[in-house]
Amino acid sequence: MYYVKKRIEISAAHRLSLPYESKCSCLHGHNWVIVVECRAKELNEAGMVVDFTEIKRVVADRLDHAVLNDVLPFNPTAENIARWIVDSIPQCYRCEVRESEGNTAVYEED
């Protein structure tokens, strides 16, 4: 099995739709750190699991300096973002989304 990992830093804002009162319901921003992990049993025709540029295109090019509520069709929690990234990159099986130093969400396929 081949594995690759890409770490991406973006700046983006969001507001969360929550069933309770929270400051996070107001628009606010983070300097996000996203770690995308991909794997493949066989390398593609270019000799890669996935091109790092493709990961950047899916994640950073779409989310960096964006209001996440405007570009994602769901409540942009760190957990939902992690799941969306795994679902958006075929070779991706695990994603960590850190919205601040002490707050990280992880989604990993079974």
CATH fit for domain 2-108, picks 3.40.50.970, 3.40.190.10, 3.30.479.10, 1.10.357.10? 3.30.479.10
Q: What percent of the chain has pLDDT over 90?
A: 99
pLDDT at 71: 98
- Quick: pLDDT tens for 2-49: 999 999 999 999 999 999 999 999 999 999 999 999 999 999 999 999
Alpha carbons 40 and 80: distance in angstroms, whole number: 24
Say yes or no to pLDDT of 110 above 90: no
Global pTM exceeds 0.85: yes
Which DSSP string corresponds to 74-91? S---HHHHHHHHHHHSTT
SS3 call for 68 = helix
Mean pLDDT, the chain, integer: 97
Kindly calculate the radius of gyration of the chain based on its CA atoms and give it in whole angstroms.
Answer: 15
- Quick: pLDDT tens for 50-84: 999 999 999 999 999 999 999 999 999 999 999 99
